[in-house]
A and B are shown apart, each in its own frame.
Chain A
Amino acid sequence: MQGSLIETRSLTLGAAGRTLVSELSWQASAGERWCVIGRNAVGKSTLLRALAGLAVPHREGTVSWLGRSQAEWSPPDAAALRAFVPQQSADRFSVTVQRLLELAVCVPGGPDPQALLLALDAASLAERDVMQLSGGERQRVALAQCAAQGAPLMLLDEPVAFQDPAHQRQVARWLITLAKRCLVFSAHDVNWIASVATHVLALHGDGGWEAGPVARMLSAERLQAVYGCCWRQADGAWLMID
């Protein structure tokens, strides 16, 4: 219990008459990097939104931050505690990357925006307009923005969905440097997950779920249970087999 930053009790999520997550009782602490895995449409994004305190189609149960229910947090206090990156940003107005990072700051004395951009290979984008960035660039900027907010709990919806392999590795290394924070993210590449996550929360699509340390959760049987296909490990890398 000690040090848990976020905790769910009997959290049940649903959408379109379907149960996505049933009775999830789970917690995460600073220093942990949780990856939510599951097939498409099992509710990874919905779960991350619920953990962030955003509106979801149907929810029961409670999510608490630092032992206090989400509803008890004022918006500014919540902003200082948790940050969230959606899968895609829908920009409508021009703003420079630098200004975007300035606007994101909620905790004074947080990380240096320039250093964040540098760590995410986005330093050259500082003066650019967010409307003119590529999908991958925009996503790395969103990650920098999320860290610039200064919140200890960072919720990231598919942070490497638009990244090329080199940038996927760079994002992985950067996430590992955020050692004092608690990260919860979703991803699909099993080997990328193995290189970043300390823990895995698997969603089975019928409401069922399983959570645990990465070494236990990434096994051939469990991967098969999640993705419905066979896996084997060769030279330390996971391969999907027919």
Chain B
Amino acid sequence: MLELTQVTRSFGATVAVQPTDLSVRPGATTVLIGPSGCGKSTLLRLMIYLIRPDGGSVRFEGTEFSADDVLRLRHRIGYVIQDGGLFPHLSASDNVALLARHLGWDETRVTARIDALADLTRFPTDCFDRFPAQLSGGQRQRVSLMRALMLDPDVLLLDEPLGSLDPIVRSDLQQDLRDIFCTLNKTVVLVTHDMGEAGFFGDVIVLMREGRIVQQGTLSQLINEPADNFVERFIRAQRTALHVLEEGAES
């Protein structure tokens, strides 16, 4: 699906991503996690070519990203960022429909698709005429998710999608997001710095540090077979969250 081969990227003198290989498993949710500045967001943006790699290649279903292909490939990838990145001058429904209308969809098709997405993301339809400034944080993220899913992409990339939400809204949306991922059975890559969230979503967890992948595997692999001292420390530091999670899973 998404294949990163020996990808590197620096910003000035700072190396954000060391030579890295990563193969994203189709139909699964991959979580990129690590302390801030570890290069996880950079890696995610490399996957949709918002940032170009200095070296190595990024392939989407075998096609390497290039200037000619970038628009076409992006149409098959949905992208959601912290706080939604909604366009403040457009209403919720116009935000969702922007790309489809640009591609020439007729209004019946647009409306039908938006209604289906509202259903899926549990977005109240009477809020469609509202502008982003009139929506709550959780509603904004649901609109952003709808916008990303409008063309029914193969891959969904999410950069700390729950990062700016308060705890109650956050846990509601967390649950809904996982349900949506399960329902759609899409390939998902999600960036977070929260181990609890990583365990909650991740079929595969990729732990990064200083521009490198330190370990990738399931949550239990990371807990039971830490690759090094850093993995152990990182997991221990976030233990409290994991306890809650494990208890919840048991009951």
- A and B associate in one complex: no
